[in-house]
Amino acid sequence: MGGFYWIASYPKSGNTWMRLLLASLIDGGAPLDFSRPVGFAPSAASPSDMDLFLDVESSELTPVEQTELRHDLALAVAAATAEPQYRKVHDRWGHSPSGRPLFPPAATLGSIYLVRDPRDVAVSWAHHSGTTLDEAIDFLGRPGAVVAAAGKWRDQFEQRVDSWSAHVASWLAAEPVPLVVAYEALSADPLRVLAQVAIHCGLSASADTLAGAVEATRFARLQQQERIDGFELGQKAGRRFFRRGIAGGWRDTLSHAQANRIVRDHGAMMERLAYDTGV
């Protein structure tokens, strides 16, 4: 029996960067090829998995029915596969309508949970989704918020992300306990962080392989590859996916009032994660 490593985060917190790092690492530190779809760690909310492993027509199910079956799907995939499976997750950690965990501990080998300063998340989400900064700040503070709302994305089920603070709280309380990775630490020292992630995932990697994966995913290199081959992952048409990739970029984008509003909404969780709440 296999199982899952969940690569989880609130949107725009470094999930794609981590998946690209791991994809290169597992491939021996090889360069990435954006001329082909990145197939590593597909979404845990993928209808194709449900159709295949549960033999259902997921498109005919309601969002509630789809969510309910995700518990069964995780167990079925784990039972049917011998090798560890990696999946991207934007859902909050939680339960199906009947109270069963969406990410069953019995099917979980481990989880990596990426966190990022919500002020930077708001800026990145506004760019990605094509909304205003104020609308993005509203979204981060919205209880029950969802992405891929029913019927909007054909390749993903609806995913409840909740507010940024509630999302973080849910994964900090997840079973089993995840490896928490701060975007800021990943940005400052990707080699060290990737080595920790490799150990967490039971991956054996040489120093050269780790260094190769880090080099393959330098942000400037990802930007260059996107300019050449494109990279579409749900962003508003015409927007770059790899925009800036820096920690603290909110300081030259958010107004004082906007930054204060985020701290007002999320200050308690920011302090729990040791983010400076000064603006």
Mean pLDDT confidence for 213-221: 87
Tens digit of each residue's pLDDT (9 = 90 or more) over 17-69:
999 999 999 999 988 877 677 778 888 988 889 999 998 998 889 889 999 99
Instruction: Collapse the DSSP code of 8 into the 3-class scheme (helix H, G, I; strand E, B; otherwise coil) and give the result.
Output: strand
- DSSP H/E element including 180: strand 179-182
- pLDDT given for residue 244 in this prediction: 65
CA 37 to the chain's CA centroid = 17
The interaxial angle of helices 15-26 and 219-229, nearest 10 deg, is: 90
Residues 91, 146 contacting (CB under 8 angstroms): no
Q: How confident is the model at residue 150 (pLDDT cuts 50, 70, 90)?
A: low
Compute the mean pLDDT over every residue in the chain, rounded to the nearest whole number.
89
User: Dihedral sign, CA of 177, 248, 127, 228?
Assistant: negative
In this structure, the number of other CB atoms found within 10 A of the CB of residue 180 comes to 15
Q: Which residue do the tokens 């209808």 mark?
A: 47
- DSSP H/E element including 136: helix 133-140
Tens digit of each residue's pLDDT (9 = 90 or more) over 240-267:
555 667 788 899 899 999 999 999 999 9
Q: How confident is the model at residue 238 (pLDDT cuts 50, 70, 90)?
A: low
Task: In whole angstroms, give the CA distance from residue 23 to residue 15.
Answer: 12
Q: How confident is the model at residue 137 (pLDDT cuts 50, 70, 90)?
A: very high
Rounding to the nearest 10 degrees, give the CA dihedral for residues 34, 213, 84, 7: -80
- pLDDT given for residue 237 in this prediction: 57
Mean pLDDT confidence for 121-133: 90
Which tokens sit at 223?
Answer: 């930007």
- pLDDT given for residue 262 in this prediction: 97
pTM of the model: 0.92
For residue 229, pLDDT beyond 90: no
Q: Could you write out the DSSP letters of every residue in 82-115?
A: SSEEEEEE-SPS-B-TTS-BSS-GGGEEEEEEEE
Task: In whole angstroms, give the CA distance from residue 163 to residue 167.
Answer: 6
CA 98 to the chain's CA centroid = 25
Alpha carbon separation from 189 to 12, 184, 192, 195, 272 (Å, rounded): 19, 9, 6, 10, 22
